[in-house]
Structure 1
Amino acid sequence: MSPTLSFHDIRKYIQTLSEAERSLISEGVTLLKLVLVLPSTNAVSERSCIAMRPLKTYPRTTMKQKRLNHLLLLHVHKDHTDNFSCVEVANSFVSNSEHRLSVFGHFH
């Protein structure tokens, strides 16, 4: 049976290692953290690709990446965005600037 190591024993062993060997331990810890946060499936990325199919149609092939990202966010989170009131969003937009308010006025 192998002896049980204490935290103090492990610390002393690590202190005896060279700087290069210690940096490898640091890299190992980083790798372990990355493995622990990996998703177990790729369902989220699959849903995103499936959501992009109806948005990226032939007439929209010249769409910039930023706009496509915004449309995908709206599409993926449509359960939240369906509850928005367009009138409230428009009034919030024009109330942020006197110039906008003078051009657009209030929405009803």
Structure 2
Amino acid sequence: MDSTAQQFVERALRLALETLDHRRPVAHLATMATPGVVAAVRTLVRADLAPGRTLGAAVLFRVDLMMVDAATAEVCASYDRGRQHFAIAARIAHTRATGWRLTVFRVR
């Protein structure tokens, strides 16, 4: 497993959750995610559709990373809000031009 990928995805997911909680502006996510992911998160934030947001702040709990190849990884993660657990599915990709980027982000 690529330790830089693991470190990146943990930072990116924390940032995404903080954004969904309205603790950070969506623009901060643009440094770590593709425009499509940023647009999707912006929609969730504007419509206040983050799962379980009324239960409290999201706390990243577990992150599992599976390398698909040297430049792509699938991510399965969980986070807590209060006493409830929620899920994240994501994908990250690496290019020379951008480094690691969050290319897919789904929350449930």
TM-score range, shorter chain: under 0.3
User: Which structure has greater strand proportion?
Assistant: 2
Which structure is richer in relative contact order (CA contacts within 8 A, separation 6 or more)? 2
User: Which structure has greater helix proportion?
Assistant: 1
- Structure number with greater Rg is 1
